[in-house]
Amino acid sequence: MRNGSGSAPTVGDEYSSRVAVTVNGTRRELTLDNRTTLLDALREHLGLIGAKKGCDHGQCGSCTVLLEGRRVKSCLILAVTLDACDVTTVEGLAGPDGLSPLQEAFVAHDAFQCGYCTPGQICSARGVLDEAARGWPSAVTDDLTGPVRLTDAEIRERMSGNLCRCAAYPHIVAAVRETAGTP
């Protein structure tokens, strides 16, 4: 048995693995200790520090990224499981012409204060918009088989996996509401 996570992994070590993962459209090959979470792979190995480490236990949402286009908590995903997968972080949301409409709305509505939770909020909101567009109901949807309208109550429920200790929630809801239906 080995302890600690400080030793550098080497190829052939049965406790580490080679992983090829596409991040923000670019294929990246890494050799990682099997214990490495996706969050740590992004931040410590790929220099992508947009996704934040808040609680590191799946409770705060600041590490939210998109995996195969679906929002997930990167602190609870082991990078070794992601060979041949596609990851989008907040750094990958902007297009060649600048920020996405969702990101612009966060700026326009002042939907943050300290900004620590913001990358996770934005990635989660991207997921919310896509899930609503697919007609997925939520816990506050009255008619499970009817169309989905992103009311404020729906947005609050769907964004409940992202905490903001500055309590910018009303502005976050406004930014998501304004962006509904945009790419």
Partner 1 sequence: MRAFRYRRPADVDEAVALLDADPEAAYLAGGTNLVDLMKLGVQRPDLLVDVTRLPLDTVETLPDGSLRVGATVRNSDLAAHPVVRRNYPVLARALLAAASGQVRNMATTGGNLLQRTRCVYFQDTGKACNKREPGTGCAARHGQNRDLAILGWSEQCVATHPSDLAVALAALDAVVEVAEVGGTREVPLVELYRSPGEHPEQETTLPRGALVTAVRIPPLPAAGRSAYLKVRDRASFAFAVGAVAAVLDLDAGVVRDVRLAYGAVAHRPWRALRAEAELRGRPFTPELAGRAADVELEAAVPLAHNAFKVPLVRAITVRALTEPAEAAA
Q: Which residues bind partner 1 (CB under 8 A)?
A: 1-3, 5, 14-15, 17, 33-35, 37, 56-58, 61, 64, 67, 70-73, 76-78, 80-81, 124, 127-128, 131, 134-139, 141, 144-145, 156-162
Residue 94 vs 163, nearer CB to partner 1? 163
Alpha-carbon gap, residue 19 to 105, rounded angstroms: 35
The CB-of-120 to partner 1 minimum distance in angstroms stands at 9
The CB-of-16 to partner 1 minimum distance in angstroms stands at 9
Residue 117 vs 128, nearer CB to partner 1? 128
The CB-of-108 to partner 1 minimum distance in angstroms stands at 24
Residue 96 vs 139, nearer CB to partner 1? 139
On the 0-12 / 13-18 / 19+ scale of CB atoms within 10 A, 144 is exposed
Residue 4 vs 47, nearer CB to partner 1? 4
Residues 6+ apart with CB under 8 A from 73: 58, 61, 63, 64, 161
Residue 48 vs 155, nearer CB to partner 1? 155
9, 39, 147 from 162: Cα distances, Å = 33, 16, 24
The CB-of-109 to partner 1 minimum distance in angstroms stands at 21
Residue 23's DSSP bridge partners are 26, 87
Selection from 158, 152, 98 nearest residue 126 by Cα:
158
Question: Cα-flanking dihedrals φ and ψ of residue 130, to 5°?
Answer: -70, -40
